[in-house]
Amino acid sequence: MADREINPRVVVVGAGPAGVRAAQTLLAAGIRPVVIDEAARAGGQIYRRQPANFRRNHQALYGTEAARAQAVHDGFDAIASAVDYRPDTLVWNIADGQVWTASEKGYATVAYDALILCTGATDRLMPVNGWHYAGTYSLGAAQVALKAQACAIGANVLFMGSGPLLYLVASQYVKAGAKVAAVLDTSPFSNRLRAAVDLIAQPAILADGVALTRALAKAGVPVLTGVTPLEITGDTDGGVNGARVRLADGTERHFAADAVALGYHLRPETQLADLARCDFAFDAKTRQWLPRRDPDGRASVAGVYLAGDGARILGARSAEVSGRLAALAALADLGRPVDPLTLTHLRRQVASYARFARGLATAFPWPHEQAANLPDEAIVCRCEAVTAGDLRRVVNETGAKEANRAKAFSRVGMGRCQGRYCGHAGAEVIAACANIPVEQVGRLRGQAPVKPLPVAIAPEGEE
């Protein structure tokens, strides 16, 4: 026990901007954390690194964010040997004060006194009929292909969805020499004006965003707002050949493309918080369930802290700040001195990013009404190929209106992605069909393992 007071065990999951800053903060306070990251190289999502034998420089990879990326990478490289860094290692479960890991070497447990979850985000998806055709990718996937592999997802790529990332990735494609068929944003332009009061909280980021739209226009890429996706066209063998949409003026139009990048901003990766038995609350603004936490990142479960986009989608800059804050909260709870002025300063920054994020949610709302209009034949759950009609039939015939109940009967959310890509849309389909508020549908309960686990897995060091 005494040893734990002198040498508390702190585990940081995720080595993106949040995890890196948390680890640095802990190390500076004399604690050597265990940093576990599923990826092969530290950096996380936005500052994802390319393989070692790639040559593009930071400017080419990260554009306006090059300096920040460099700082996060250098920051981690400087501490990588001082912390207990475990790359290529998945945390797949949490129980009784231990995280359970899996890697090529097998499984292992790491006990913790404090656990800082910096698990980042994945794309938020709204299905559209035909999105199961080969060649439809998440928006994030389009960016990963470019950043990590120097590839475009197709020869003529259509960007469809909403959110700042839509414009960012499309312009990165243009810059890299890929052909972009069009950028189709479901949000009406007028929303951006309404959002201005909050967006002004981060003038620099706002200016970057405006510049992106301009760059796309200059490159001759059609950028349309207020678009309603009707279907991704193509066939089950050849894949995508375009998308049919309704434009803001009510006319229908088909855009030819051999790939579609589809995404509606992001959703936090909250499975581990769930397995750690943290409480969740419904966020009405973004229509999703989020783990509760205090302004410094303390979850409802003692000793568990949440930072970065894994807790709230506030962006990479905020992730760095909330990573530091969560580490300071853990330090304070472990009885270490923490400067209150630093806390105040960091909290103020996070609050400003939160205001900006509120503006983004106004400007680029989650188009939940699309769920109600999905044709019955549209697949909602890609893993299990369950259609909107299947799900509606379950709601109507069995009266299942709760997310887990509907999952049990329809299989929506029962597949190998664990509901990451169908969970939000499935809940909206149920809510619309049963005519109840989406919060009443509840949320899919987290179940281990957070990603597939080999049946062959044995303890580390055992054959």
From the CB of residue 399, how many other CB atoms can be counted at a distance below 10 Å?
A: 12
With binding defined as CB under 6 A, does residue 309 bind ligand FAD?
yes
Dihedral pair phi/psi, residue 122, rounded to 5° = -130, 170
Residue 204 interacts, among another protein, ligand FAD, none and using kind-specific CB cut-offs from 5 to 8 Å, with none
DSSP letters, 289-325, are: EEE-B-TT-BBSSTTEEE-GGGTS---HHHHHHHHHH
How many Å apart are CA 227 and CA 244, to the nearest integer?
10
Comparing CB distances to ligand FAD, the nearer of 164 and 413 is 164
Residue 413 interacts, among another protein, ligand FAD, none and using kind-specific CB cut-offs from 5 to 8 Å, with none
Residue 346 interacts, among another protein, ligand FAD, none and using kind-specific CB cut-offs from 5 to 8 Å, with none
Closest CB 444 distance from another protein, rounded Å: 11
Name residues whose C-beta falls within 8 Å of residue 344's C-beta, 6 or more positions apart in sequence.
none
Q: Which of 13, 27, 181, 325 binds ligand FAD (CB under 6 A)?
A: 13
Q: Which of 456, 388, 390, 463 is nearest to 428 (CA)?
A: 388
Closest CB 230 distance from another protein, rounded Å: 19
Q: Which of 44, 127, 130, 359 binds ligand FAD (CB under 6 A)?
A: 44
Dihedral pair phi/psi, residue 83, rounded to 5° = -95, 170
Dihedral pair phi/psi, residue 296, rounded to 5° = -95, -5
Closest CB 119 distance from another protein, rounded Å: 11
Collapse the DSSP code of 99 into the 3-class scheme (helix H, G, I; strand E, B; otherwise coil) and give the result: strand
With binding defined as CB under 6 A, does residue 163 bind ligand FAD?
no
With CB under 6 A as the contact rule, which of the stretches 118-126, 190-198, 370-378, 400-408 interacts with ligand FAD?
118-126
Collapse the DSSP code of 456 into the 3-class scheme (helix H, G, I; strand E, B; otherwise coil) and give the result: coil
Q: Which of 122, 362, 387, 418 binds ligand FAD (CB under 6 A)?
A: 122
Name residues whose C-beta falls within 8 Å of residue 380's C-beta, 6 or more positions apart in sequence.
127, 374, 386, 387, 388, 390, 391, 412, 422, 425, 426, 429
Q: Which of 143, 162, 233, 387 binds ligand FAD (CB under 6 A)?
A: 143
With binding defined as CB under 6 A, does residue 274 bind ligand FAD?
no
With binding defined as CB under 6 A, does residue 61 bind ligand FAD?
no
From the CB of residue 242, how many other CB atoms can be counted at a distance below 10 Å?
A: 19
Residue 91 interacts, among ligand FAD, another protein, none and using kind-specific CB cut-offs from 5 to 8 Å, with ligand FAD
Number of residues lying near ligand FAD (CB under 6 A):
36
Comparing CB distances to ligand FAD, the nearer of 64 and 156 is 64
Name residues whose C-beta falls within 8 Å of residue 121's C-beta, 6 or more positions apart in sequence.
45, 266, 267, 268, 269, 309, 310, 313
The angle that helices 190-199 and 340-363 make with each other, rounded to 10 degrees, is: 170
With binding defined as CB under 6 A, does residue 319 bind ligand FAD?
yes
With CB under 6 A as the contact rule, which of the stretches 15-23, 127-135, 234-242, 414-422 interacts with ligand FAD?
15-23
With binding defined as CB under 6 A, does residue 419 bind ligand FAD?
no
Exposure string of 123-140, with b = 16+ CB inside 10 Å and e = fewer, is bbbbbbbbbbbebbbbbb
Closest CB 161 distance from ligand FAD, rounded Å: 13
Residues contributing to the site for ligand FAD (CB under 6 A): 13-19, 36-39, 44-46, 90-91, 118-122, 140, 143-144, 165, 168, 266, 269, 272, 308-310, 315-316, 319, 450
